[in-house]
Amino acid sequence: MAKVLIATEKPFAAPAVAGIKEIIEKAGFELALLEKYTEKAQLLAAVADVDAIIIRSDKIDAEVMDAAKNLKIVVRAGAGYDNVDLEAATARNIVVMNTPGQNANAVAELVLGLLVYCVRNFYNGKAGSELMGKKLGILAFGNVGRNVARIAKGFGMEVCAYDAYCPADVIEAAGVKAMASQADLFKEADIVSLHIPATAETKQSINYDLCSTMKKGAILINTARKEVIDEAGLLKLMAEREDLKYITDIKPDADADFAKFEGRYFSTPKKMGAQTAEANTNAGLAAANQIVGFIKEGITKFQVNK
């Protein structure tokens, strides 16, 4: 009998756990639960005899994999998977998957919520502005970017996007203007929303030179990954340009320095994009179904370490 572990330092909502349990046990598998653990040793002990692991933001590195002698698959309930050592997993013939799209609407709604909060001057009582008629530039047109475009158009915004890996005709088919380059996106948009992963190519790519081309009064919003921002460069630019604003749901390392730009910077206390009951449940159930499909039928549709 295959054994599946839910290992979550920050637990799923109770309905999500119940749903995962139902899927796993219906498949004839055993479910184990490790929640709110405080030491890595607890995780190392829990993985000793498991065939599969479902995680959220929990780190699965070579040490964890070596402690899990029977491990065949790790599923990150969410889109990002930089908390799993893919190279180590591949070397040990362990499949790693994510659950793309399950959190997309939740993140997209947060983007527009943060933008309303920002353009209304963080509800400080002073007159703000409206989103209608503003040009929103979306960097990366994946599941989240497409949902952001859908909602933004409902606000009456003009939407454009750039994605190095998405054909222009796919972007245009969604009723969104396809930009020729990332540079053009930053130059033309009133607001730029980031939805790129943290890779060797993208880390610190949102830098001083790129952001310095943004329009007067522009807003940069980041609900992607902290690592894509060159914090030193952005701090330098915000000090030079009092018209720029930065909002994010990933607290920067230099949060205290950014906070000095009162009225132009906002960060949520922790990453909030997927923090809805619906997204929580959707991602958990998808992870469970993907594990069952892999173990029973060898389905690897969402494998990220091919």
Q: How far apart, in whole angstroms, are the C-alpha atoms of residue 283 and residue 274? A: 9
For helices 104-119 and 143-154, angle between their N-to-C axes, nearest 10 degrees: 50
How confident is the model at residue 80, as a pLDDT?
Answer: 85
Read out DSSP for 195-248? -----TTTTT-B-HHHHTTSPTT-EEEE-S-GGGB-HHHHHHHHHH-TT-EEEE
The strand pair at 245-248 and 219-222 is best described as parallel
How confident is the model at residue 196, as a pLDDT?
Answer: 96
Regions of the chain with pLDDT less than 50: none
Is pTM, for the whole model, over 0.85?
Answer: yes
Q: What is the pLDDT of residues 190-223, one digit of tens each?
A: 999 999 999 999 999 999 999 999 999 999 999 9
Q: What is the pLDDT of residues 274-304, one digit of tens each?
A: 889 899 899 999 999 999 999 999 999 999 9
Q: How far apart, in whole angstroms, are the C-alpha atoms of residue 103 and residue 88? A: 26
